[in-house]
Amino acid sequence: MLPNDLDRIARQIRLRDLQAVYEAGAGHIGGEMSAIDILTALYFRVMRVFPDAPRQPDRDRFVLSKGHVGLALYVTLAKRGFLPEDEISTFLKPHSRLNGHPNCNKVPGVETNTGPLGHGLPVAVGMAKAAKITGASYHTYVMTGDGEMQEGSNWEAIPAAAQFGLNNLTLIIDHNRFQQGAALKDTNNLAPFRPKLESFGWHVSEINGNAMDEIVPALETRSDRPHAIVAHTNKGHGISFMQDRVDWHHKVPNAEQYKIAVAELSESL
């Protein structure tokens, strides 16, 4: 799939995500918009996945460690054929499989439960290590938030991955510069990430995480070490009035804002 096609799919996923947040009256729209280009590249270009056989042993693994944006993953999985697209309208409804945070026992294609920040990377290290032990050929990808990197558990997993020589592991940090209620720089500012990751023995790439022509080659990069992609993104990317505004971490658009956002995202579908 070419970058232009991927961009079109990402816009469609953004639009469906926005609609679902509006209808459900809840969601984490800012961090969903920042992550969707990377999710699109993973599921529509880079990863080996089997929507009709989601547990196929050779499948590549993806762990959405920033589980609060589970909706973005559901929309991506639905578009890729893992679940019916019309199921998205059940998001957050009683008895729906599509909870606020992803549940691997309910949703096909979800590899592990996430939501409590700081757990996805340690789990992904385990998945990659398991592949080394068994000789399996799958690659493991994991996405964390930049605020999430403040969780100490990540900084135990990072040197372990280097020690184990996990060249079958790719960490993507969605570096949108905001966490919940504050900018990263005004709290425990871990940026810049690159020197810290390099000092732990990782191979590091730094990209525009909302530009398909940078995302795809970075995700396809392989080295002899675990690979971290510091993806510079915009929280709320694609919707002008949400971009880089701290309050859009989990605010829900009103009717007027919704109309504007739909118009912006529909522009070049």
Ligand X SMILES: Cc1ncc(C[n+]2csc(CCOP(=O)(O)OP(=O)(O)O)c2C)c(N)n1
**Residue 113: contacted member of Mg ion, ligand X, none (CB under 5 to 8 Å, by partner type):** none
The answer to whether 146 contacts Mg ion (rule: CB under 5 A) is yes
Q: Residue 69 half-sphere exposure, CB side, CA atoms within 13 Å?
A: 32
Contact 168, 205 (CB under 8 A): no
Report d(CA 258, CA 260) in Å as an integer. 5
How many CA atoms are closer than 13 Å to the CA of 216, on its beta-carbon side?
15
151 binds Mg ion (CB under 5 A): no
Q: Which residue is nearest to ligand X (CB)?
A: 145
Interaction mask 59-88, ligand X, x per CB under 6 A: -------x-x--------------------
Nearest distance from residue 121's CB to ligand X, in Å?
12
Nearer to ligand X, 107 or 117 (CB): 117
Question: Measured in Å, how far apart are the chain's first and last C-alpha atoms?
Answer: 16
Site string for ligand X, 160-199 (x = CB under 6 A): --------------x-x-xxx-------------------
Residue 94 is encoded by which pair of tokens?
Answer: 């009683």
Q: Is 148 exposed, middle or buried (0-12, 13-18, 19+ CB in 10 A)?
A: buried
Based on CB atoms, which residue is closest to ligand X, 21 or 117?
Answer: 117
By a kind-dependent CB cut-off of 5 to 8 A, residue 17 interacts, out of ligand X, Mg ion, none, with none
Distance CA 20, CA 59 (A): 28
| 147 is a site residue for Mg ion (CB under 5 A) | yes
String marking each residue 144-163 x if it binds ligand X according to CB under 6 A: -xxxx---------------
Whichever of 131 and 184 has its CB closer to ligand X, that residue is 184
Taking the least distance from each CB to ligand X, the nearer of 118 and 253 is 118
Binding site for ligand X (CB under 6 A): 28, 31, 34, 66, 68, 115-118, 145-148, 174, 176, 178-180, 235, 249
